[in-house]
């Protein structure tokens, strides 16, 4: 129960990695605001699962790429929780395609959600954390932000941008007792990756020294660590959780 009494926001917490993170933070003792951009029903389902564990949970809907929506989202959370101790910027989308065929709107959409969304959520929450002189901010980047990937120029750029944002914010907020770190997942099967052909998945496994794909729980464990006092002296870092794929 390393997070007993802490209040957390998890964007994109209604599915995939975000859902696993929301559950892990609750398992560690935190109360959780489960945020979704489109489906309040799915966020409420996760919140109900968390309440069944004896923790407080609130479901909130809001487009993280929109300033007014983010500010409203945080106000709604603060109506339920007295403060926000942990912010997990997990919300993300992908619109893959080769650069010659990539539509400008697909570039903009991915950067707006994945990168601008983290900026807006952090800005909205930072005032509360600064007053408390404490906080944990964890940004979900990706190994493709470190190595790039053909057909994912927009996604890779957004995830690389998160690493720069993480380091800059870590320097800005350290004086107020707030740590800012990133987690870089490797290949984690989720509903975003299910369309990948089985042959492509097998080829990926050949690149992973541990010989298996990761799980959402692998990522959730890393986030819980960075959110805890065990990571109190860690800031501005990117924790790569990829089975050794990128070294």
CATH code, 195:
3.40.50.720
Catalytic residue among 155, 184, 186, 242: 155
Evaluate whether residue 246 is within a structural domain: no
Q: What is the chain's length?
A: 247
- Domain for residue 161, yes or no? yes
Q: What is the pLDDT of residue 203?
A: 81
pLDDT > 90? residue 115: yes
Q: Are 40 and 62 in contact (CB under 8 A)?
A: no
Which tokens in the block code for residue 57? 């949970």
Residues 173-199: tens digit of each pLDDT: 999 999 999 999 999 987 656 666 677
* Residue 48 clears pLDDT 90, i.e. is over it: yes
Confidence band of 202 (pLDDT split at 50, 70, 90): confident
Does residue 1 lie within any of the structural domains?
no
Above 80 in pLDDT, residue 200?
no
Domain that holds residue 150: 7-234
**pTM recorded for the entire structure:** 0.96
Domain assignment of residue 244, yes or no: no
SS3 240: strand
- Predicted confidence at residue 192, as pLDDT, reads 59
Q: How many domains does the chain have?
A: 1
Annotated catalytic, 155?
yes
pLDDT in tens, 87-104: 999 999 999 999 999 999
In 3D space, the residue among 74, 118, 110, 81 whose CA is nearest the CA of residue 94 turns out to be: 110
β-bridge pairing 7-11 and 57-61: unpaired
Rg for the chain, CA atoms, rounded? 17
Coil, strand or helix at 117: helix
pLDDT of residue 196: 66
| Tokens at 60, concatenated | 């909130």
Give per-residue pLDDT as tens, 133-150: 999 999 999 999 999 999
SS3 9: strand
Q: Flag whether 108 is in a domain.
A: yes
In a domain, 57, yes or no: yes
Q: How far apart are CA 242 and CA 185, in angstroms?
A: 6
- Model confidence at 220: pLDDT above 90: yes
Q: Is 120 helix (H, G, I), strand (E, B) or coil?
A: helix
What pLDDT band is residue 204 in, cutting at 50, 70 and 90? confident
Residue 149 lies in a domain: yes
| Residue 245 falls inside a structural domain | no
Q: At what angle do helices 153-173 and 117-132 cross, to 10 degrees?
A: 20
């Amino acid at each position: 129960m390393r997070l007993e009494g802490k209040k957390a926001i998890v964007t994109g917490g209604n599915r995939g990695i975000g859902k696993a993170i929301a559950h892990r933070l609750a398992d560690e003792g935190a109360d959780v605001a489960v945020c979704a951009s489109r489906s309040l029903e799915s966020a409420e389902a996760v919140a109900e699962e968390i309440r069944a564990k004896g923790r407080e949970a609130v479901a909130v809907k809001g487009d993280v790429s929109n300033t007014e929506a983010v500010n409203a989202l945080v106000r709604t959370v603060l109506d339920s929780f007295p403060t926000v101790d942990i912010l997990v910027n997990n919300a993300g989308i992908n619109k893959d395609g080769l650069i010659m065929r990539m539509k400008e709107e697909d570039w903009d959409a991915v950067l707006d959600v994945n990168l601008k969304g983290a900026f807006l959520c952090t800005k909205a929450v930072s005032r509360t954390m600064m007053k408390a002189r404490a906080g944990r901010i964890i940004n979900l980047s990706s190994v493709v932000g470190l190595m790039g990937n053909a057909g994912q120029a927009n996604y890779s750029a957004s995830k690389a941008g998160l690493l720069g944002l993480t380091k800059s914010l870590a320097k800005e907020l350290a004086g107020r007792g707030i740590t800012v770190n990133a987690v870089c997942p490797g290949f984690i099967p989720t509903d975003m990756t299910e369309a990948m052909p089985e042959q492509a998945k097998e080829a990926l496994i050949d690149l992973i020294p541990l010989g298996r794909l990761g799980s959402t729980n692998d990522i959730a464990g890393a986030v819980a660590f960075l959110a805890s006092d065990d990571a109190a002296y860690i800031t501005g870092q990117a924790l790569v959780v990829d089975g050794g794929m990128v070294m």
